[in-house]
Amino acid sequence: MTNNAISVSEIFTGIYQLKMPLPFRLNHINLYLLEDVNGWYLIDTGLNTQLSQELWAAFLQSGFFTKPIKKIILTHLHPDHIGMSAWLSEQLAVPVAISACDWAMATFLWNNGDAAGEKIYQQHWTHFGLRGSQLSEMVELRGQYKKLVKQLPAEVEIIHPHDRLFSSSGTWEFLPGAGHSPEHMALWNSEQKLLISGDHLLPSITPNISLHPVGLRNPLESYLQSLEEFSLLDCKHYLPAHGAISSDFRERINQITLHHQQKFADLMNQLPTRFTVVEALPCIFSADLPAHQLLFAYGETAAHLIYLAERGLLQRDDDDPWLFINPFQVNSAKYTVDRPATRLHTSPC
């Protein structure tokens, strides 16, 4: 895609995909427009950058919109989704909608990016076994959310699970999926068998599932449970935030589930009897990562270990740092890959 205009295409009748550039290796995000008889619903907004503002300003003046944008809907709180929402809301005088749990997390990250949040984040990373300059570097990154988002909407409307949105393309139901964020909202159109999946289900990469200082106690369990529930949908195509529109819905859910199961097996079979999160990371990620990627890698490693500890497969000593005890190594047993048992999904917050 080019960086001098927003790429827009009608992918299904009344459903448009916008491609907005990102300054990362993942170089764009897919946004969506749902047409209605008297306006549009915008799904996600892009990262808050000068380029994004210029592209949005040009697009809004391009003549594409002969009807107004009625509402901005956010699948979740991450900067590439929420970033431009405040600017667009002000420019267009339209409301912004997001789930309650994701809005709570967004305001926490926004309000704890300075010295007030240092103690919270220092304790969080100390639990993982970080010390010295490594600890300082991770704590310093707590301010990245505010730097990337730059502005939160002054107020929002709350999306509740199973709320409905009515458009020319049919009725869309909001489906909660915890894990990647506290209460990610996908949009499900049962008539057309279409799912706007946001970051919850991606066709070629796996969404990061991290343990944060607040929010989900066991994010990976929440995520895997949610995938089990989503697999019951009779979905023909899913429309992701990153990657191509895809039709391998159940196959992709199985691939992601087995991906995490393989990480469980790697941890259980390769790690010593006693270890910290820091010591476990090289088992499933490269330790030679830049700081911002290490932040996600540590968070996801911790999420895997908490999942195993909650299921009784590891024991956890809650001293600082957390110390995990691996009974498989004590007993010379072998952990085998298996799908997690289906459980009823509970509210994430």
Give the mean model confidence (pLDDT) for residues 151-167: 97
- Ordered domains of the chain (ranges, CATH): 7-108+147-255 (3.60.15.10), 115-145 (no CATH)
Give me the residue label for tokens 């949040």. 117
**Mean pLDDT score of the chain, rounded to an integer?**
92
For residue 287, what pLDDT is reported? Answer: 78
State pLDDT tens for residues 181-212: 999 999 999 999 999 999 999 999 999 999 99
Residue 137 DSSP class: H
Percent of the chain with pLDDT over 90: 80
Please give the distance of CA 38 from its chain centroid, rounded to a whole number: 31
Give the mean model confidence (pLDDT) for residues 85-92: 98
State pLDDT tens for residues 333-348: 667 766 544 343 344 4
Query: For 190-236, where are the E strands, in sequence order?
Result: 194-198
Task: Judge whether 45 and 31 are in contact, CB under 8 Å.
Answer: yes
For residue 330, what pLDDT is reported? Answer: 63
Please give the distance of CA 57 from its chain centroid, rounded to a whole number: 27
Assign 87 a pLDDT band (cuts: 50, 70, 90). very high
Query: In 3-state terms, what secondary structure has residue 312?
Result: coil
Q: Side by side, which strands form the sheet with 184-189?
A: 164-167, 170-177, 184-189, 194-198, 237-240
- CB-side neighbour CA atoms (13 Å) of 25: 3
Assign 143 a pLDDT band (cuts: 50, 70, 90). confident
State pLDDT tens for residues 100-133: 999 999 999 998 866 668 889 999 999 999 999 9
Positive or negative, the CA dihedral 81, 97, 54, 142 is negative
Query: In 3-state terms, what secondary structure has residue 118?
Result: helix
**Number of C-beta neighbours around residue 226 at 10 A:** 23
State pLDDT tens for residues 255-301: 999 999 999 999 999 988 999 999 999 999 987 888 889 999 999 99
| Residues 80, 12, 96: CA angle, nearest 5 degrees | 35
Give the mean model confidence (pLDDT) for residues 223-242: 98
For residue 340, what pLDDT is reported? Answer: 47
